[in-house]
Amino acid sequence: MTDRLPHEKGFHISWDQIHRDSRALAWRLEQQGPGGGQWRAVVAITRGGLAPAMIIARELDIRVVDTISVKSYDNQTRAEAVVLKAPQAEIMGDDGEGILVIDDLVDTGKTLELVRKLFPKAHFATVYAKPLGRDMVDSFITEVSQDTWIFFPWDMALQYVEPYRGK
């Protein structure tokens, strides 16, 4: 299945912004570990979840960090989500209880739906969320509208722009 979603607006996130928003998410997650204690591990949904997961693991002093690789988009075109690499079975346990699964954003929710099926008791957190996928995530920081495409700093480069008052 593939479908092309219209994205009327762009939301451009700087490194500074994702750092601040990921820290805010870490602080929100601090009290929510199993029994109010420490999370057993952080699992990043690669690739987009890697940078936020690193910041969150650092803030919460979690040293066990693993990844699950899910691919679901080619540029702005959505395709069926597939797991390309699973996290270590000993880390995840039977159902993911006590594990913090981190992604940069939830859009349609298909990626998280797939990971949730595998680890139903994990806690799912994203930095940004769109309305269609919001119910798939347990914690997030900022919501944007469904017709907004979020541009992350790792996908962008600084470049010259002409002055507003041209020649």
Ligand X SMILES: O=P(O)(O)OC[C@H]1O[C@H](OP(=O)(O)OP(=O)(O)O)[C@H](O)[C@@H]1O
Annotated binding-site members: 47-48, 103-111, 149-150
> Footprint of ligand HPA on residues 42-81 (CB under 6 A)?
73
Beta strands 41-46 and 65-74: pairing type? parallel
| Cα-based distances in Å from 10 to 45, 80, 119, 146, 149 | 23, 24, 32, 11, 5
- Is residue 103 annotated as part of the catalytic site, yes or no? yes
The C-alpha atoms of residue 104 and residue 128 are separated, in whole angstroms, by: 6
- Using rule CB under 6 A, residue 11 touches ligand X: no
The pattern of x and - marking residues 101 through 120 that bind ligand HPA according to CB under 6 A reads ----x-x-------------
How many helices and strands (H and E) does the chain possess?
4, 9
- Is residue 104 annotated as part of the catalytic site, yes or no? yes
The C-alpha atoms of residue 40 and residue 76 are separated, in whole angstroms, by: 34
- Is residue 16 annotated as part of the catalytic site, yes or no? no
- Using rule CB under 6 A, residue 21 touches ligand HPA: no
In the complex, the residues that contact Mg ion under the rule CB under 5 A are 48
Catalytic residue positions? 103-104, 107
In the complex, the residues that contact ligand X under the rule CB under 6 A are 45-48, 71-73, 78, 81, 103-111, 133
